[in-house]
Amino acid sequence: MVLLGTLINAALIIVGTLIGRALRNIPEKMKETVMYAIGLAVVVLGLQMGFGSQNFVIVIISLVLGTVLGEWADLDQKLNRLGHWIEVKLGAKESKGSIAQGFVTATLIFVIGAMGVIGALESGLSNEHGVLISKGIIDGFTSIILASTLGIGVMLSAAPVFVYQGLIALFATQISLIIPEAALDLFIAEMSATGGVMIVAIGLNLMGITKIRVANLLPGILVVALAVTVIYQFNLMP
């Protein structure tokens, strides 16, 4: 089932919100330690994915060129501006703890990020849902923390998460119908490995060790597709 990972992700956000409302006023030290634990788990997941590369040169080239494109387009800043625009339109700053604030804050955290894109692509291309399930667990714990302070509006973010990731997964299934199997297998392996490096960056950011603009790395996925296309067209397959 292509949308299984997306469904689980959305469901865990809802469950996390309900738990968070039941467990209000979670101690700050506990929140901090939980985020460190989540960050460590995310780093391990990213490393596991990165080691799956069949040709790590593709990963390096894709990350470097993708980052150049991302920095040139300043994707991270554009996404932040989009978030601020949504906050203004929904009046999220008008009252702390409002439904709007909880919805906007949670949506920006859960939707804007590399992990959702990578996981949805993996779900659509190979029917593997490990990344999205891991993201769902992270989002679930984050929902507990957010809902304890921002309220029930956090639960509403499950809807845009489902639509956004679901559309990417469904689009990816169509890619698999037109790309030759050998090229598709190589793309999946290198896309997952490249995405794994990005996920390591997400984990490090969660722990506060780095402040990597991960959104600016996302064009690396497109570079992977171009690299695989060149390799296949010129019969350079390993």
SS in 3 state form for the chain?
CCCHHHHHHHHHHHHHHHHHHHCCCCCHHHHHHHHHHHHHHHHHHHHHHHCCCCCHHHHHHHHHHHHHHHHHHCHHHHHHHHHHHHHHHHCCCCCCCCHHHHHHHHHHHHHCCHHHHHHHHHHHHHCCCHHHHHHHHHHHHHHHHHHHHHCHHHHHHHHHHHHHHHHHHHHHHHHHHHCCHHHHHHHHHHHHHHHHHHHHHHHHHHCCCCCCCHHHHCHHHHHHHHHHHHHHHCCCCC
Instruction: Quote the pTM value.
Output: 0.76
Q: Kindly tell me if the per-residue pLDDT of 140 is higher than 90.
A: yes
Answer yes or no: is pLDDT of 56 > 80.
yes
Please tell me which of 14-23, 29-38, 142-151 the model is most confident about, judged by mean pLDDT. Answer: 14-23
Give the pLDDT of residue 97.
Answer: 45
pLDDT mean over 173-177: 84
User: Is pLDDT larger for residue 4 or for residue 36?
Assistant: 4
User: Residue 70: what pLDDT?
Assistant: 94
Domain positions in the chain are 4-233
pLDDT value at residue 154: 87
Lowest-confidence range among 55-64, 86-95, 183-192?
A: 86-95
Reply yes or no on whether the pLDDT at 84 is more than 80. no
Given pLDDT bands bounded at 50, 70 and 90, which one contains residue 234? Answer: confident
